[in-house]
Amino acid sequence: RSRQSELLLNLLDYSGTGDAGSCRAGTINGTLTTEAVNPALKFHQLVNGMRYRKCVVQYYGIAAVLAIVVYCVFACFSGVVDTGLMIYRTPTVGQRQVTESSFWISYPSVSIRHTTKSLVELGKMDEVNKYFLFLNHVPKCGAEILILLLQRLQGLNNFRHVRLKNGNKRFLTRLQQENLVYEVYDRMKKEAVPLSLDRHVYFINFTSFGKQLPVYINLIRNPVDKVISRTFYKSKSRSNFYENCLTSNKSTNCNFKNGKPYDLSIPYFCGHHKQCMELNNDWALQTAKSNVEKYYTVVGVLEKLDDTIDVMERKIPYFFKGAKKIYGQEFFGISKNRYVPKVSDVIRQRLSESLAKELEFYDWIKARLLQP
């Protein structure tokens, strides 16, 4: 029996026994005694040994599965295994290098699209388009100097200057204003660059047609000097031209009547309402002042042209950067050479009375220009 017990222990390679239904066995101190070995015990120990080995296989199997799972997860995030979901660490998106602390996921079967936000998504736009300059210049006020500067500066400051046609038609109907607004914006789309434009036309509120306002600028001059100069150049007889004009009582160039329409300075800031053209209309004057405050970045005066250009370069640098230097080198003195015919003090006083609201507007613009 001792020999049989020894053979059984070698067969089981097992140092302990336990319950038949348990994989955890107790221990037996010492060797198996001859009394404990019998056929039933042999069978019982054999079964327990087989169950023990089965449990060991199960434990090793679970550990192996866990090891495989951990390896796959690590390999996936390291880019070793091609799972169809690759994670890149420092990719280049367009021309931008993503930092090492960030990552992005690329799905091979899904294309990524970049879309432009709609106007609703962008929210409310600025009321003024800072890349769109509009000079609705008043005739005989020296705005040609500003046009020459813009034409000279367009290459240096990366914009384009365009002279609009039909400048002789200043007063426009509502439909004509709308057509002009859309013509301007079509031109902006065509050019696809910042744009400056000029034309003789009364003030147009672009926002009333659903468009952004331009950066409005303008230039005016002393209304008495303007009328004298314009009448002089239109007169057939240059000798005593104004005295003859006043005594004739026929020409509207020198005989002004309150309430009558005239193409003076105020309508270019008031707008296209019929009252805007009426001489010495207080509503037109107040509307012109209000529009200047709301919509005009700079309104200069010819008699203060140096100050005007200085203010424009300071307040509108995108278009007028370098204007003072170019004006001083190339255009200085052009406005100084404007000839204003001599008239008697009586004639000048009479004109000042007739153009009272125009003079008030001119003085207000000059004070606004020079204020700090």
Give the pLDDT score at 163.
Answer: 93
Ranges of each domain in the chain: 1-114, 126-370
Pick the CATH number of 126-370 from 3.40.50.300, 2.40.40.20, 3.40.190.10, 2.40.30.20: 3.40.50.300
Give the pLDDT score at 219.
Answer: 98
pLDDT in tens, 103-149: 343 434 444 444 444 444 544 557 789 999 999 999 989 999 999 99
pLDDT in tens, 235-250: 555 556 666 666 665 5
Mean pLDDT is lowest, of 72-81, 124-133, 295-304, for 72-81
pLDDT in tens, 20-48: 444 444 444 444 444 444 555 555 555 55
Give the pLDDT score at 249.
Answer: 58
Give the pLDDT score at 75.
Answer: 59
Residue 355, pLDDT > 90, answer yes
Give the pLDDT score at 203.
Answer: 98
Residue 333, pLDDT > 80, answer no
Residue 152, pLDDT > 90, answer yes
Instruction: Return the percentage of the chain with pLDDT > 70, whole number.
Output: 61
Residue 284, pLDDT > 90, answer yes
- Tell me what the pLDDT averaged over the chain comes to: 76
Residue 214, pLDDT > 60, answer yes
Give the pLDDT score at 197.
Answer: 96
Pairing of strands 296-301, 213-220: parallel
Residue 76, pLDDT > 90, answer no
Give the pLDDT score at 323.
Answer: 96
Give the pLDDT score at 79.
Answer: 47
- Side-chain-facing half-sphere of 346: CA atoms under 13 Å: 3
